[in-house]
Amino acid sequence: MPNILSHEIELTPAFHDLDPMDVVWHGNYLRYFELARCALLQQIDYDYPQMRESGYAWPIIDIRVKYVRPLRYGQSVIVRATFAEWEHRLKIHYEARDASSGQRLTRGYSIQVAVDMATQEMLYANPPILLQRLGVQG
């Protein structure tokens, strides 16, 4: 199990994030997930600049969102990113909750795979650097 399993950020949707129905436009949820994912990766010192420096790209190959309740302008929201899988791919779960009530607003996940930047080959097991940063391999 990794040393740091999850991380939370707090955000407030801006007016420009809204759709014509005055709720957060569905595509912006992915941006909020990205902010939480980067904060989680920063906690293990393996955010995108460190990934690139280690010689690996980590494209997202699958991403899902389950919209439970709408996010609204000015609503304080907690977005949690949690490592779910890390042996053969990197799967991160997300949950957005209302900061005041704790009510779940949305959830989802993303799957990323390691690609050797020199050869452009996808790896079928994650590189040792990720496992070291997670604290699951010496």
Provide the number of structural domains found in the chain.
Answer: 1
**Where residue 4 falls among pLDDT bands split at 50, 70, 90?**
confident
Q: Which residue has the higher pLDDT, 5 or 137?
A: 5
Q: What is the CATH number of the domain that holds 111?
A: 3.10.129.10
Nearest to 104 by CA among 120, 126, 80: 80
- Tokens 């302008």, residue located: 73
pLDDT value, residue 7? 97
Task: Please indicate, yes or no, if residue 95 is contained in any of the structural domains.
Answer: yes
Residue 9: φ, ψ to 5°: -125, 155
> In the chain, how many H helices and how many E strands?
3, 7
Indicate the pTM of the whole model: 0.93
Specify if 33 maps to a domain: yes
For residue 1, being part of any structural domain is answered with no
Look at residue 67 and tell me if it is in a domain.
yes
What is the residue type of 7? Answer: H
State residue 28's pLDDT score. 96
Q: Which structural domain range is residue 23 located in?
A: 6-134
Is there a domain that residue 99 lies in?
Answer: yes
CA distance 92 to 83: 5
**Range scoring the smallest mean pLDDT among 3-7, 96-100, 128-132:** 3-7
Cα separation, 93 vs 95, in Å, equals: 7
105 falls within a domain: yes
Residue 5's closest CA among 73, 76, 75, 91?
91
SS (H, E, C) 11-35: ECCCHHHECCCCEECCCHHHHHHHH
Confidence of residue 138 (pLDDT cuts 50, 70, 90): low
pLDDT-derived band of residue 91, with 50, 70 and 90 as boundaries? Answer: very high
**Across the chain, what does the average pLDDT equal?**
95
35 φ, ψ to 5°? Answer: -60, -45
Q: What is the mean pLDDT of residues 9-31?
A: 95
pLDDT in tens, 27-77: 999 999 999 999 999 999 999 999 999 999 999 999 999 999 999 999 999
